[in-house]
A and B are shown apart, each in its own frame.
Chain A
Amino acid sequence: MFDYVWLIPVFPAIGVLINGFLGKRIEKFNKSIVHWVACGAVGLSFLVTCIIFFQMLGLEPEHRFYEFTCFNWISGGVLQTYVAYQIDPLSMLMCMFVTGVGFLIHVYSIGYMAHDEGRYYRFFTYLNLFMFSMINLILANNFLLMFLGWEGVGMCSYLLIGFWFSEEANAVAGKKAFITNRVGDFFFIVGMLVLFCGLGEHGVWSFQFSRVFPNVHLLSPNTVTLVCLLFFAGCTAKSAQIPLYIWLPDAMAGPTPVSALIHAATMVTSGVYMVARSNILYSLSPFAMGVVAVVGALTALFAASIGLAQNDIKKVLAYSTVSQLGYMFLGLGVGAYAAGMFHVLTHSFFKALLFMGAGSVIHAMSGEQDMRLMGGLRKKTPITFITMFIATLAIAGIPGLSGFFSKDEILWQAYSSPHGHFLLWLTGAVAAGMTAFYMFRLIFMTFYNENRAPEDVQHHIHESPKAMTVPLMVLAVLSVIGGYLGVPHALGGSNRFHKFLDPVMGMGPDKIFQKAAGGSLHHVAEGSHVAAHHPSLFMEYLLMAVSVAIALIGIYIAYVMYVKKRDLPEKLAEKFRLLHRMLFNKWYVDELYTLVIIRPFHGISNFFWKIIDVIMIDGMVNGVARVVGWGSSVLRLIQSGYVQCYAVSIIFGTVALLVYYFLKIAG
């Protein structure tokens, strides 16, 4: 009944083809057709998604699953893969907000990129290509097609980060993003191979989710852990977790709509989506879950700490994104898949809004990104200010806004879940405080006090055009209300969000093992044992209150430091010089990587080339030739030209022959 699902990816693909091949002509003819095509494509996708979504809502939860196969893709022998899409609550949820937010950002780009002459069509082509890849990633019903999207979004991110390629920094950042993602993809591919061949040993040769997940019990626990860790390693690149987060802050070199779309709302969350999608696998491996949770928590704290000292408005948001993604993984790691996804959803609203707001600010400031040169924009760009302020409240976890619900649920689960731990909660809570601090620092430095920009820039400050502000407003509304989809029971809600995802997430290990009696039973035992642990409602309220308090403290400190006593930051920086420098320089991680990995690598490569290839192998080859040549020049000396010598040689030969024959007789 959802056979038209293929339309969702196809619309952006058509957009790519039209703008890609004819864009140059169209742009010369009429620039607006370019963005009409691009936005229209995504809009149609969104429309189809909505139709399917609501159609699906009309079904019983257990029937909310549908697969549609388009065609056979890569096949040979037991390897049979298809371009096929899967409709279930998880994929549709993801698709809804990706196409929705994507559409808004497309519209926003019309305004933002308006001044980019000649390459306007290119930008929209890339955006559409990104949408195409992202939709494939989400809707895929197998790992391989998911990987197509997975690499595809990485590629688009590369193209878009380096969009203004004439700046070397942009080009370098794009390359860095791609290669770091490639490192992650390496793990993803290996994970797929292990899974494929591991299951293949039991006769299930497939990448298809609906065949893989019901059969994961066939795998040995070690294999499951290995696969989970490999997949998660893949996620650390795509979703910017320790240790592969390094590309995301640099990726801010791209145009701001790109940062909003790709590096905040959609692409970076695909890792979360993937883990959520593979929740059955992870549930079978408590160790892997632990790793996910710890890495997530650490990333949340670590990135937030760097965010404290950044001056570039987009860099702050970038580290904030990394940090928020850490939260999501924390949620996944403690088994709260739905909570993680919930945060993906709310985060996409407010972070996209923040980026777009930042874009609007940069637009107003004629391209300036340093917050030290901003200030006082509150009056000149009111819409931007208000919407951004709302988003900041949301991200800081102020009760009543979307961020509060989702973040709080993660924190609560981090403490209360059978896989949780107090330290995980504490890390998350501290990071939440930092988040509140640096976000309000951003707001105060940008919108409050007096403007510190040069004269000529100040004159140009203006509110952005409608195409930019309308999406801001829409997202602001969503940032407020988005949270009410999943109000927890403790606050009197019914947590509809959880229920909605239940058909995907609820397929816990228990059910699988019920299906496969005789599987490795100790897993079941372990799972059911852990599930017995139930913390009290009081505790939930208490922790909620604490985290809100921490956030408020963070906001207050920011207010003191950046509005009231504005010389304080400098004094503090003086006092804790080492710490400040470490934070300001992002803990020197990039430098460390360069020193430990990249430099030696180049050294070895050069050694291979200059020593092994040129000197050793070629030396040997040429050496043989030289030896023959040398032999030649020596032997030719015998040829003296004197007849006597030749005669002697004949006699010599004769004697040799005679000696040979007589020896023959003797012997």
Chain B
Amino acid sequence: MDMLEFVVPELDFRAILPQIILAITALTVLLTGVFSREKKGPAIGFLSLAGVALSFSAVVFSGSQTVSSFSGMLTNDSFARFISMIVCVVALLTILISINYRKISPAINSGEYYCLLLFAALGMMFMGSAGNLLMVFVALETMSISIYALAGFQKQREKSIESALKYFLLGAFASGFLLYGFALVYGATGTMDIVKIGRFLNDHPLVVHSPLLLGGVALMTVGFGFKVAMFPFHMWTPDVYEGAPTSVTAFMATGVKAAAFAALIRVFYVALGSLQVDMTQIMWVIALLTMTVGNVVAIAQSNIKRMLAYSSIAHAGYLLVGFVAGGELAISGMLFYLLGYAFMNLGAFGVIALLAKKDGEYTELSDFAGLGFKYPAMGLVMAVFMFSMAGIPPTAGFMGKFYIFTAAINSGFIWLAIFGVINSVISIYYYLRVIVTMYFKEPEQDIVMLTPTGAIILALVIAAAGVLFMGILPSSVLDIARNSTTLIM
């Protein structure tokens, strides 16, 4: 490799147009927040919303060509665009939820909040399109640091602060591992460029089994594993999810997971594709443990946010099944699953965010007793989200699991698929418990729902429609996902 050659970076700003839009919106929002004294209205929220929407359209209309720009730092391929789309959807829904959530937690109705949110989204998008390990790290930190701050946004709530602190401490810890892992990989291959690492390993099969590389891989697994809440790096999840403001939890549970999986997929398939055989066994075990621990422990939870935290661990497990399976079908399955998961999880948290009082939320499962009939529409959408998470047709959750298990069977991982379905039966129990409480039990206390604004109604409708649409007519989304699996190799 000729280090001395001076390369003029090819600066293709069109490739990062959505990101640029987000960044500008973030700054604008921040400034607006600083200069506008009036903090009651949802104006800031709508402003961010517009930005995200614009960014979304930029993603959608950016064409279908694969562009590698900034010296390979960014690769704007269809995979990246799909991730960006998911991120936009997540951001969009999160903002819609937040606009309503400000009634409980006025602190979040500030420029800082939306700014951080948008920056986190920006980081997520970059994670999906990073073509270089360094870029991955920068994007990941952009995202993470914003979210650490977001998690502690309810300053007056101890749990929120605790959540932020825990997330930060552990997150920093894990980032360290990740970075060290990158360094080792660089040491082994001499490059940070994802595509080049892949090519190098192809050309030098001896390196594949060098301790340096494998150590790097192990540490990278830790770093990504932490972000996607993979066993045994999942421990932070329940505490952080429970403590963070619900709108942030929703964002975290879906966006971070999507972004981290995107990076994981790109790094492990493109750069470390030749290692796949070696990884399979350990990832197989990790996938199994992740879903089992997530599902089993979720049963014992009485707090719905904690329960959903464990459920998110379990979903990471299902996604890992896809990861183990590998191949085009599995990746498209995972993409599909990530989008579906975003819809149903945001929807569920959106519903939780609706049930709140000033400076506090009703997050105990027993608080939901009888609400299904008291608020029929809310109960109905919650039921849809729960059935979807449990993988009951005709919902996105079912179709997602269907694709993932299909991919697993296709690649010969029949036992993993069997454990997967056993797990999904276990999970039915606790998802149904929510429905049991909502519909089958008499209310114990009088719980008043926050008056829903148009924003959250829209959010829930979009989420529910998304879940059902992907469940009933999965074809269109699946086709897009399938077209998005051609990574730059």
Evaluate contact between B218 and A643: CB separation under 8 angstroms.
no
Q: Min CB distance, A627 to chain B, in Å?
A: 10
- Bound-complex Cα distance A662 to B219 (A): 13
In the complex, what residues of B have CB within 8 A of residue A664's CB?
A: 209, 214, 278
In the complex, what residues of A have CB within 8 A of residue B218's CB?
A: 654, 657-658, 660-661
Interface string of A629-648 (1 = CB under 8 A from B): 10111011011010101110
Q: Could you say which of B86-94, B136-144, B149-157, B233-241 contacts chain A?
A: B233-241
- Bound-complex Cα distance A560 to B367 (A): 92
Evaluate contact between B300 and A650: CB separation under 8 angstroms.
no
- Bound-complex Cα distance A514 to B222 (A): 95
Residue of B174, B293, B429 touching A650 (CB-CB under 8 A) = B174
- Bound-complex Cα distance A646 to B168 (A): 13
Whether a CB of chain A sits under 8 angstroms from the CB of B199 is no
In the complex, what residues of B have CB within 8 A of residue A658's CB?
A: 215, 218
In the complex, what residues of A have CB within 8 A of residue B173's CB?
A: 647, 650
Whether a CB of chain A sits under 8 angstroms from the CB of B296 is yes
Interface residues of B in 187-237 (CB under 8 A from A): 209-211, 214-215, 217-219, 221-222, 225-226, 231-233, 235-236
Residue of A636, A643, A653, A660 touching B300 (CB-CB under 8 A) = A636
Evaluate contact between B232 and A650: CB separation under 8 angstroms.
yes
Q: Min CB distance, A136 to chain B, in Å?
A: 52
Q: Min CB distance, A186 to chain B, in Å?
A: 43
Interface string of B393-428 (1 = CB under 8 A from A): 000000000000000000000000000000000100
Task: Tell me the nearest residue of chain B to A665, going by C-beta.
Answer: B209
Evaluate contact between A661 and B299: CB separation under 8 angstroms.
no
Residue of A635, A656, A661 touching B296 (CB-CB under 8 A) = A635
Residue of A632, A654, A665 touching B219 (CB-CB under 8 A) = A654
Evaluate contact between A632 and B296: CB separation under 8 angstroms.
yes
In the complex, what residues of B have CB within 8 A of residue A662's CB?
A: 211, 214-215
Interface residues of B in 67-93 (CB under 8 A from A): none
Residue of B215, B217, B299 touching A632 (CB-CB under 8 A) = B299
Evaluate contact between B217 and A649: CB separation under 8 angstroms.
no
Evaluate contact between A643 and B169: CB separation under 8 angstroms.
yes
In the complex, what residues of A have CB within 8 A of residue B209's CB?
A: 664-665
- Bound-complex Cα distance A290 to B59 (A): 97
- Which interface class (under 10, 10 to 19, 20 to 34, 35 or more) fits B? 35 or more
Evaluate contact between A646 and B235: CB separation under 8 angstroms.
yes
- Bound-complex Cα distance A660 to B279 (A): 9
Q: Min CB distance, B56 to chain A, in Å?
A: 35
Q: Min CB distance, B42 to chain A, in Å?
A: 35
Residue of A628, A649, A657, A665 touching B235 (CB-CB under 8 A) = A649
In the complex, what residues of B have CB within 8 A of residue A593's CB?
A: none
Whether a CB of chain B sits under 8 angstroms from the CB of A422 is no
- Bound-complex Cα distance A629 to B215 (A): 37
Whether a CB of chain B sits under 8 angstroms from the CB of A601 is no
In the complex, what residues of B have CB within 8 A of residue A73's CB?
A: none
Q: Min CB distance, A63 to chain B, in Å?
A: 70
Whether a CB of chain A sits under 8 angstroms from the CB of B362 is no
- Bound-complex Cα distance A636 to B215 (A): 31
Evaluate contact between B222 and A650: CB separation under 8 angstroms.
yes
Evaluate contact between B211 and A657: CB separation under 8 angstroms.
no
Binding site secondary structure of chain B: helix
Contact A632/B282 with A654-B222, A661-B218 known, Cβ cut-off 8 Å: no
Interface residues of A in 583-598 (CB under 8 A from B): none
In the complex, what residues of B have CB within 8 A of residue A645's CB?
A: 235
Whether a CB of chain B sits under 8 angstroms from the CB of A652 is yes
Whether a CB of chain A sits under 8 angstroms from the CB of B301 is yes
Contact A635/B293 with A643-B170, A646-B166 known, Cβ cut-off 8 Å: yes
In the complex, what residues of A have CB within 8 A of residue B450's CB?
A: none
Evaluate contact between B166 and A657: CB separation under 8 angstroms.
no
Q: Min CB distance, B95 to chain A, in Å?
A: 30
Evaluate contact between B222 and A653: CB separation under 8 angstroms.
yes
Evaluate contact between A646 and B299: CB separation under 8 angstroms.
no
Evaluate contact between B214 and A650: CB separation under 8 angstroms.
no
Residue of B211, B238, B239, B293 touching A665 (CB-CB under 8 A) = B211
Q: How many A-B residue pairs have CB under 8 A?
A: 89
Binding site secondary structure of chain A: helix
Evaluate contact between A660 and B169: CB separation under 8 angstroms.
no
Q: Min CB distance, B161 to chain A, in Å?
A: 13
- Bound-complex Cα distance A620 to B132 (A): 54
Evaluate contact between A646 and B170: CB separation under 8 angstroms.
yes
- Bound-complex Cα distance A631 to B426 (A): 12
Q: Min CB distance, A36 to chain B, in Å?
A: 59
Most buried by A among B165, B210, B299, B426: B299
In the complex, what residues of A have CB within 8 A of residue B300's CB?
A: 629, 632-633, 635-636
Q: Min CB distance, B286 to chain A, in Å?
A: 9
In the complex, what residues of B have CB within 8 A of residue A649's CB?
A: 232-233, 235
- Bound-complex Cα distance A308 to B282 (A): 90
Task: Tell me the nearest residue of chain A to B231, going by C-beta.
Answer: A653
Q: Min CB distance, B254 to chain A, in Å?
A: 22
- Bound-complex Cα distance A643 to B166 (A): 6
In the complex, what residues of B have CB within 8 A of residue A661's CB?
A: 211, 214-215, 217-218, 278, 282
Whether a CB of chain A sits under 8 angstroms from the CB of B297 is yes
Whether a CB of chain A sits under 8 angstroms from the CB of B177 is yes
Q: Min CB distance, B269 to chain A, in Å?
A: 18
- Bound-complex Cα distance A653 to B219 (A): 10
In the complex, what residues of A have CB within 8 A of residue B221's CB?
A: 657
Task: Tell me the nearest residue of chain A to B300, going by C-beta.
Answer: A632
Q: Min CB distance, B383 to chain A, in Å?
A: 22
Q: Min CB distance, A408 to chain B, in Å?
A: 78
In the complex, what residues of A have CB within 8 A of residue B233's CB?
A: 649-650, 653
In the complex, what residues of A have CB within 8 A of residue B217's CB?
A: 661
Evaluate contact between A639 and B296: CB separation under 8 angstroms.
no
Q: Min CB distance, B453 to chain A, in Å?
A: 35
Evaluate contact between B170 and A650: CB separation under 8 angstroms.
yes
Evaluate contact between B282 and A657: CB separation under 8 angstroms.
yes
Task: Tell me the nearest residue of chain B to A641, going by C-beta.
Answer: B239
- Bound-complex Cα distance A629 to B297 (A): 8
Contact A636/B297 with A643-B169, A650-B233, A665-B209 known, Cβ cut-off 8 Å: yes
Residue of A635, A646, A654 touching B297 (CB-CB under 8 A) = A635
In the complex, what residues of A have CB within 8 A of residue B238's CB?
A: 639
Q: Min CB distance, B264 to chain A, in Å?
A: 14
In the complex, what residues of B have CB within 8 A of residue A631's CB?
A: 296
Interface residues of B in 269-296 (CB under 8 A from A): 278, 281-282, 293, 296
Q: Min CB distance, B310 to chain A, in Å?
A: 9
Q: Min CB distance, A633 to chain B, in Å?
A: 5
Q: Min CB distance, B62 to chain A, in Å?
A: 37
Evaluate contact between A665 and B299: CB separation under 8 angstroms.
no
Task: Tell me the nearest residue of chain A to B221, going by C-beta.
Answer: A657
Q: Min CB distance, B178 to chain A, in Å?
A: 11
Evaluate contact between A660 and B232: CB separation under 8 angstroms.
no
Residue of B169, B211, B299 touching A629 (CB-CB under 8 A) = B299
Q: Min CB distance, A340 to chain B, in Å?
A: 66
- Bound-complex Cα distance A307 to B231 (A): 86
Q: Min CB distance, B19 to chain A, in Å?
A: 30
Interface residues of B in 228-259 (CB under 8 A from A): 231-233, 235-236, 238-239
Interface string of B9-33 (1 = CB under 8 A from A): 0000000000000000000000000
Evaluate contact between B219 and A628: CB separation under 8 angstroms.
no
Q: Which residues on A are within 8 Å of B, measured CB to CB?
A: 625, 628-629, 631-633, 635-636, 638-639, 641, 643, 645-647, 649-650, 652-654, 656-658, 660-662, 664-665
Smallest CB-CB A-B distances: 7 pairs: A661-B214, A646-B235, A632-B300, A657-B218, A653-B232, A632-B299, A658-B218
Q: Which residues on B are within 8 Å of A, measured CB to CB?
A: 165-166, 169-170, 173-174, 177, 209-211, 214-215, 217-219, 221-222, 225-226, 231-233, 235-236, 238-239, 278, 281-282, 293, 296-301, 426, 429
A sample of 10 more A-B contacts (CB under 8 A), given A643-B170, A646-B166, A650-B173, is A629-B299, A632-B296, A639-B239, A641-B239, A646-B235, A646-B236, A649-B232, A650-B170, A654-B218, A662-B214
8 chain-A/chain-B pairs, Cβ below 8 angstroms: A628-B429, A629-B299, A650-B177, A654-B177, A658-B215, A660-B282, A661-B217, A664-B278
